[in-house]
Amino acid sequence: MLTLWCIGAKHVFMQKGTMRRLTISLSEERHRALKEAAATRGRSIGELVDASLEFYGIKTRESAANLVARARKHAYLDESDADALARSETRAERRR
């Protein structure tokens, strides 16, 4: 688990396992809204944050590489065309 503490402008990281922990600051109103949204949906706050990151196109390197590999499978595409297709598919994913 990676825990991030923000101390002034310094960041302290601790490595433990595969899941990561992140501490963020939210207004009381936003935190309450996030807790309510998670409870309403039967999901954890972490799951909502993860889904939101996915929605906004924040991908893991592996996910991005898979997207490029899928784009390159299209017949007769050179690297430039495959890259353009991957960017197009990424934009489309972000709009979902």
| Rounded Cα gap, residues 19 and 2, in angstroms | 7
Q: What is the pLDDT of residues 37-90, one digit of tens each?
A: 999 999 999 999 988 888 888 877 888 788 777 777 766 777 788 788 888 989
Angle between helix axes 61-72 and 79-95 (nearest 10 degrees) is 120
| Rounded Cα gap, residues 18 and 43, in angstroms | 20
**Both tokens of residue 4?**
């991030």
**Both tokens of residue 37?**
């949204």
2: how many CB neighbours lie within 10 A of its CB?
13
pTM for this structure?
Answer: 0.49
Q: For residue 2, what pLDDT is reported?
A: 42
